[in-house]
Amino acid sequence: MSPGVVLLLAALAVLVLVGARTGFGKGSLPAVLSPLVDTGTVFILIGALLGPSGFNLFTAGMLSQLSPVLVIGLGWIGFLYGSHFELRLLRRYPPALYAAAATEALIAFALVAALAWALLTYALAPELPGRERLAAALLLGICASGTAPAGIFQLGGRSRLSADDLSALRFLSTVDDIPAMLLLGLMGALLHPTVPGALSVQPALWLLFSVGIGVGLGLITHWLFPRVDDVRHNSLVLLGVVSLGAGAAVMLRLSPLFVTALAGLTFANLSPRKERAYGLLAESEHTLYTVFLLVAGLLLRFDWKPLWILVPAYLLLRAGGKLGGGYAARRLLMRGSGVSPLIGAGMLFQGGMALAMAISFQRTHLAELDAQVTATIVLGVVVFELLGPSVADAVLGGRRRR
C-alpha cells in the first residue's frame, strides 16, 4: 500500500470520527444547511467529491476493496431498523393508523413507479430490456414511499405545526418505511438475476430464501447473544451475525437490508436481552452510518444526460404522491381527527433508509440503470431535506396549535 493511499485512508478515518461527533444534529449550523448534516446526507456529498465523480482521489481498485464496508453497513442498518418493531409495542396503536401509513406509502409508490416506468420506456431508455426499466421504476417508487423520521422530529421545536399534525407526522414517518421494506424484499425475489423473463416458481423460492435466512439469523442471534454484560463480547457477536447475514444475502443476490431487517425483527420479539443489543447498535450507529454514507458517496457515478429529466420528474412525482397519499389516508382512515388533509406536505423528508435501499439493490443486481437511479435518489434526498422544513411550515404552519 503506497504512502498516498495510507494518507487518504487516514484522512477518511479522521473525517468519519469528526463527522460522527459533530453531525446528526450534534453541532450548530445555519438553519438552511442543518438538515443535510442532521440526517448525514452531507457525508454522501463529501464522498462523491472525493470519488470518481469528483476529484477522483480513490482509484477503482481501492473502491472495490471498500465494498465489504457497504455490505456490513447495510446489514447494521437493516438489523437496527428491524429491532425497532416489537409486537407488544405495535399493538398500542389502532390498526387504522397503520392502514393510513400503508395507504400513504403505497399511493406514493404506485404513482412514482408507474410514471417513472412510462418515462423510461418512452423517453429516456427505450432501448433497454423491459426488465431493466421495470427494476429502475420499481426502485424509484420504493425509495419514494417512505419518510425520514429525523426530519419530522426536527419540526417540533421550530415550526408552527398543530399538535395533531405533528403527532400524525411522527407516527406515519416511523412506520411508512415498512411497506417499502416489504416491497424491496418482494422485488428482489421477482427480479432476481437468475429468474427468467417468464413466470416460474423461482421468485417464490427466492422470497422463501430471504425470509428463511432473515428469521434464521434472528434465531441465531437470540441463541448466541451473551447473557453476561460484556460490551466487547456482545458487540463482536452482533457484528459477526450482521456481517454473516448481509454477506450471505449479497452472495445469493438478495437484499441484505431486507434479510437483516427480518433478523432484527425476529430477535427483538424473542430475546429478553434486546434492549442491551439495541443499545450497542444505537451507540455505534452514527460512526458506522458515517462510514456507510462516505463509501456510498465514493461509489456514486453521475451520468448527467438522463438526470436532467429523471431528477425533476422524480421530485415532482414524489411530492405529488406524498400529497395525494396523505390526502387519501386522511379522508379514508383518519376521519374526525384534527389532522390536515394536506398532511403529506410534511412528509417530503427523505433520508438514510431510501439511500440504503437504493444502494442495497445496486450492490446485488448491478442493473443497467442502477447508477442513474441511485444518483437520482441521492439528489432527491438533498433537495427534500433542504426544502422539507419550509414546505411543511408553509402548508401546515398556519393551523392553530392544540
Q: Which tens digit of pLDDT belongs to each residue from 337-389? A: 889 999 999 999 987 788 888 888 877 775 678 778 888 888 888 889 888 88
* pLDDT tens digits, 237-287: 888 888 889 998 988 888 999 999 999 999 989 888 777 776 766 666 667
Q: pLDDT tens digits for 277-326?
A: 767 666 666 677 777 777 777 767 777 777 888 999 999 999 999 999 99
CA–CA separation, 174 and 169 (whole Å): 8
Check residues 391 and 199 and name the one with the higher pLDDT.
391
**Mutual angle of helices 178-190 and 352-365, in 10-degree steps:** 10
Contacts of residue 204, Cβ cutoff 8 Å, sequence gap at least 6: 189
* C-beta separation of 135 from 367 below 8 A: yes
* Separation of alpha carbons 104 and 112, rounded Å: 13
Return the closest-CA partner of residue 111 out of 317, 289, 252.
317
C-alpha span between 47 and 206 (Å, rounded)? 33
- Nearest alpha-carbon partner for 177 in 74, 272, 258: 258
pTM of the model: 0.89
Using only C-alpha atoms, the chain has a radius of gyration, in whole angstroms, of 21
> Under a CB-based contact definition with an 8 Å cutoff, are residues 253 and 193 in contact?
yes
Instruction: Give the best-scoring range by mean pLDDT among 15-24, 27-36, 364-373.
Output: 364-373
Give the contacts of 402 (CB within 8 A, at least 6 positions apart): 162, 163, 164, 338
What sign does the dihedral 41-44-45-47 (CA atoms) show?
A: positive
Positive or negative torsion for Cα 188, 192, 198, 200: negative
Contacts with 371 (C-beta within 8 Å, 6 or more apart), sequence order: 300, 301, 302, 303, 362
Q: How far apart are CA 99 and CA 334, in angstroms?
A: 10
Q: Residues 6 or more apart from 251 whose CB is under 8 A from it?
A: none
Contact 268, 86 (CB under 8 A): yes
Fold for the domain defined by 74-396? Na+/H+ antiporter like fold (1.20.1530)
